[in-house]
Structure 1
Amino acid sequence: MPQSASFALGPGTLRLIEGDITLDDADAIVNAANAALAGGGGVDGAIHRAAGPKLPAACREIIAQIGHLPAGGAVITPGFELPARFIIHTVGPIWRGGNQGEPEALRSAYAASLARAAENNLSTIAFPAVSTGVYGYPVELAAPIALGTMAEALMAGAVAEIRLYLHGRHAFDLWRCAADDLFGEITR
């Protein structure tokens, strides 16, 4: 059975969910994209498939204007065929040992995504665990950065609810432990 946990953080709520982000009806879901916004494997490929054929054209239009999306950046497109109204595309860092700006780029990927949500008056946003899949960022190092950045946005009232989607029970358990350590099991 899929797991979930909720944390009250200021006026907002952080929910950890074991499940499929493409099924979420948040105002926006976040895509862990590549620099070319070209679709790919993992969550990026799943979001591209679920959003339908209009998403690649929208991404190509953005790339034609900016060249590429650097690690830590974020842009927004319509959600097309997804239940979510928007997709916020962010590029997380590739893990290279932690001494090449990876923590700053990861923090920026979450913060820039949350900034796009705030700029568009979106109150619910769903994230995947950015950079912890094929980009190899260790979960035990990524989780405190991601959770801390999301908590800051919730406590500031920038968004009302953040949902963090995790693939599989093991990933859920790792992130739940990290959240419990940071927030002290303040669940509701």
Structure 2
Amino acid sequence: MRIAFLVAPEGVEQIELTDPWQTVRDAGGTPELVSTKAGRVQALHHLDKADTFAVDTDLDRARPDDYALLVLPGGVANPDALRLDERAIAFIQAFFTAGKPVAAICHAPWTLVEADVVDGRTLTSWPSLRTDIRNAGGNWVDEEVVVCGDGPNMLITSRKPKDLKAFGAALTEELRKQRGG
């Protein structure tokens, strides 16, 4: 089962990429790094440069139909750059159109606001996004993980790196369901 991790070329919060990545691997999934450009992405640890990671597929070649689930890691710069890229927004929208689950943490729900997919949904995020989410018609709550929906169009969201354990548990549960287990 292939899982897409969509990130910008620079600015993804490293732990919000690597921790869910390992969760997907531990659950028997195959994570793939999708970005707006081929090559490598520069991760951050807060505002400091961290490691770089090889891109598996760029958005010109990535097809949402090839993936079972989409993960949107946070960091401030990462979703801010993605929401300005029409291909990234179309990629996200395609998961919702196809009824596939999407998981987003920290600032990543900015891309969901831009993709116009939060209306009527309950979700969480880094607290500074609450007004954006409410203005887009979403119901923002302050919880470590929120699972909105079951099955088609499921949305899993978390607030911050300290919530990664709960975020990972929700991801693992969804992957288990998709496997029929």
Q: Which has the higher contact order (CA 8 A, sep 6+)?
A: 1
> TM-score if structure 2 supplies the norm length?
0.35
> TM-score if structure 1 supplies the norm length?
0.34
**Which one has a larger percent strand, Structure 1 or Structure 2?**
2
**Larger gyration radius, structure 1 or structure 2:** 1
